[in-house]
Amino acid sequence: MTRPPESLRGATITGTGMYVPERRLTNADLERMVDTSDDWIVERSGIRERRIAAPDQASSDLGLIAAQHALEMAGLGPEDVDQLIVATTTPDRFLPSCACTLQAKLGASKAAAYDIFAACSGFVYGLGLTRGLIGAGVADTVLLVGVETLSRITDYEDRNTCVLFGDGAGAAVLRPCAPGEGILSVSIHSEGSMGDILEVPAGGSRAPASAETVARRDHYVKMRGRELFKLAVRGMEESLMRALETAGLGVAELELVIPHQANRRIIDAMRGRLALPEDKVVVNIDRYGNTSSASIPISLDELVRAGRLKPGDNLGFVAFGGGLTWGASVARWTLARQAAAVPTAEEHVITAPGTAP
Ligand SMILES: CC(C)(COP(=O)(O)OP(=O)(O)OC[C@H]1O[C@@H](n2cnc3c(N)ncnc32)[C@H](O)[C@@H]1OP(=O)(O)O)[C@@H](O)C(=O)NCCC(=O)NCCS
């Protein structure tokens, strides 16, 4: 994907929101569930805790709160939304889409609602799609939600994966803006031939749910982490460089890079290759783990509500995930500094020994 022609209008983020479930799953909890240690998890991934959805919360419930906060910041109501796009790998159900379920809960009665399935890169893919829709005049107001309840497809008997994933939601409202502002460029890529490096083997048309698939634990995420690690570092570096080139900017002109939070070491390796200073790269994986398509919009909302972003700042978004999919976007921020506190639900720590999510 390239820079939009000058004749197209731009698309910019005018509101953000996030929500994470109250329940924390700490490394100490995981030590009681599988053969692992706090030291190993922190050293290899940077994660200290992650959030777990309550039994009665599905992805649309998490997405609803994030979406409401984003619309509130944008000064819009649900009826203003033209398109509601949900990036998720963990929809409430496979039919209907998570977006349609969320549409009903939100009351976005006018919106066309649909999911995009690009795993951890879903939010960046969504930015590309949204910029196209708004730029071409197909939509004026797009609500883009990245949401996951990865705890529902995580095998809490598999130490290779269960220490990594968490639940959460982030949302952004996008509206038209002048060309040369907002989303300046998007560079997205896929490599389907490597799809089985990170997969949920069963539950689709290849291996429908059966007693055997359940017994094999094939409805859970399987991952070859070491292989992904190297691909992620390279894919993130290269796509961010491409997005920068398309935007006509250099690395040094970025105020902040907001990477997908897959692993602290992946982020650090990418940062090193791009020679970015540590304070320019956002890291919150210690608190949320890997929330896939939600991780970038969660980070963005935290920055916005902390008053960290000002109009004119150049931001880089960059992600890598299952598919394989990866990509980056460069944006020139247009929203005035926010002073609003982060409106999350009251939090509490679950300390019950061996608590299974
Ligand atoms: C998963 C990941 C954290 C593992 O870190 P790593 O340094 O590559 O570790 P390895 O897989 O090489 O495993 C090293 C050892 O630790 C062990 N190990 C794995 N998980 C463990 C855990 N939770 N606790 C303790 N030991 C563990 C392995 O069994 C292995 O033992 P061995 O040497 O005796 O075989 C890392 O590879 C990663 O983050 N990969 C990319 C993840 C990713 O990008 N995911 C999806 C894209 S969003």
Q: Output the pLDDT for position 338.
A: 78
How many angstroms separate the CA atoms of 274 and 250, rounded? Answer: 10
CA nearest ligand 1 atom 1, residue = 225
**pLDDT per residue over 183-219, tens digit each?**
999 999 999 999 999 999 999 999 999 999 999 999 9
pLDDT of residue 162: 98
For residue 304, pLDDT beyond 60: yes
226 Cβ closer than 6 Å to some ligand 1 atom:
yes
Is the Cα torsion angle 217, 218, 219, 220 positive or negative in sign?
Answer: positive
**pLDDT digit string, tens, across residues 65-114:** 999 999 999 999 999 999 999 999 999 999 999 999 999 999 999 999 99
Give the pLDDT band of residue 5 (cuts 50, 70, 90).
low
Predicted confidence (pLDDT) per residue in 192-202, tens digit: 999 999 999 99
Kind and range of the H or E element at 131? helix 122-135
Q: Which of 262, 234, 251, 183 is nearest to 9 (CA)?
A: 183
Query: How confident is the model at residue 356, as a pLDDT?
Result: 42
| Known active-site residue 162 | no
Q: What is the DSSP string of 145-185?
A: EEEEEGGGG--TT-HHHHTTB-EEEEEEEEEEE-TTSEEEE
* Contact indicator for 237, 273 with CB cutoff of 8 Å: yes
The predicted pLDDT at position 8 comes to 78
The pTM assigned to this predicted structure is: 0.94
Per residue in 230-248, pLDDT tens? 999 999 999 999 999 999 9
Atom of ligand 1 nearest to the CA of 266: 39
For residue 343, the model assigns a pLDDT of 52
**Active-site option among 120, 162, 263, 314:** 120
Supply 253's token pair. 């002109």
Q: 220-235: string of b/e by CB count within 10 Å (b at 16+)?
A: bbbbebeebbebbbeb
Q: Which region, left, alpha or beta, applies to residue 261 given φ > 0 means left and ψ of -120 to 50 means alpha?
A: beta
pLDDT tens across 126-154, in order? 999 999 999 999 999 999 999 999 999 99
* Mean pLDDT score across all residues of the chain: 93
**CA separation for the pair 4, 131 (Å, rounded):** 9
Bigger pLDDT: 337 or 250? 250
In Å, how far from its chain's centre is CA 301?
Answer: 11
Nearest ligand 1 atom to the CA of 120 is 48
DSSP annotation of 80 reads G
Give me the mean pLDDT over the 46-56 stretch: 98
Q: Are 327 and 190 in contact (CB under 8 A)?
A: no
Report the candidate in 275, 235, 270 with the shortest Cα–Cα distance to residue 251: 275
Give the integer Cα–Cα distance in Å for 88 and 95: 13
